Amino acid sequence: MPYLLILGARSDIARAVSHRFARKGLNLCLAARRYEEADRDAKDLEIRYRIRVMTREFDALDFEGHESWYAGLPEKPLGVLCAVGFLGNQKKGETNLTEAKKIMETNYLGCVSILNVIANDFEERKAGFIIGISSVAGDRGRQSNYFYGSSKAAFTAYLSGLRNRLCRVNVRVITVKPGFVRTGMTEDLELPAMLTSSPEEVARDILSAFEKGKDVIYTKWYWKYIMAVIKIIPEKIFKKLNL
């Protein structure tokens, strides 16, 4: 059964992507931590799209276990979507290293740890694709979320390097940088309606990037230009802004 592996399958973006790819007829393996609703999600996708879905418990922070976790899959996936992410609490992180570490470890180390294993397998098989959900927050550090932002910046750089390495063996790596998305992660934030997209819109953009062979995408598309502007603001001015 050829399938797409989805890491962090409980997130709203991952759920929307699952539906998009399932509609194309692709089987899925949904993996997430404390995944109590796994059976319900699987059944739902099977009924709607007549595909096969398996589920796995997966903890991005169990670094040591990743190799054997991947080896334990019944067969190797066609590709992987890494939607593991944790916004955390910036303010708390400033005085509490445990919170800051959790943000950095989930968004960066955890993803690197499992993607290393998968990349090696894909490289050896000369097949596969990797889609990583990073964030526009990684394009420039801001006071409001720089633990999250810096770990996403690191993840973006990691994916860029990985793409450079794997393009030689025809394994594609796609970096996805969503702007504001109305999800469980941002439920308590006031987001500007004009700039905020739904998980479904993000999923649509991801599928289209996959089909068109893109390397890096912003979603929605105009975030590319917003971030271009934000990146060229001189630091002298930027440091005084309230973003």
Partner 1 sequence: MNIANWGKYPTIDARIRGFRTVGDLKDSFQDAATLIARGLGRCYGDSSLWSTIVSTLKFNRILAFDAEEGIMRCEAGTSLEEVLDVAVPCGWFLPVTPGTKHVTLGGAIASDVHGKNHHKEGAFSDHVLSMEVMLHDGEIIACSHRERQGLFTAVCGGMGLLGVILNATFRLKKIETAYIMQRTIRAADLDEVMDLFEQYADATYSVAWIDCIAKEKKRGRSVFMLGEHALRKDLEGSQFAERPLEISLRKRLNIPSQFPSFVLNRFSAKAFNFVYFQRAKTERSAVADFDTFFYPLDAIGHWNRIYGSKGFTQYQCVMPRDTSKQGLRSLLNIISWGGEVPFLAVLKLFGKGNGNLLSFPMEGYTLALDFPITPTLFSFLDSLDKIVLDYGGRLYLAKDARMSGEMFRRSYGNAARFIDLKHQLDGSDKFRSLQSERLEI
Of 163 and 182, nearer to partner 1 (C-beta) is: 182
Which residues of this protein are in contact with partner 1, per CB under 8 A?
Answer: 10, 12, 36-37, 40-41, 43-44, 47-48, 184, 187, 190
Of 36 and 211, nearer to partner 1 (C-beta) is: 36
Alpha helices (H) along the chain? 12-23, 38-49, 66-71, 90-95, 97-104, 110-125, 146-166, 199-212, 223-232, 235-238
Smallest gap from residue 65 Cβ to partner 1 (A): 24
Smallest gap from residue 63 Cβ to partner 1 (A): 27
Number of other CB atoms surrounding residue 50 within 10 Å: 9
In sequence order, the 6+-apart residues with CB closer than 8 A to the CB of 225 are none
Instruction: Give SS3 for 231.
Output: helix
Of 10 and 220, nearer to partner 1 (C-beta) is: 10
Residue 123, burial from CB neighbour count under 10 angstroms (0-12, 13-18, 19+): middle
Of 48 and 91, nearer to partner 1 (C-beta) is: 48
Smallest gap from residue 231 Cβ to partner 1 (A): 30
Smallest gap from residue 107 Cβ to partner 1 (A): 21
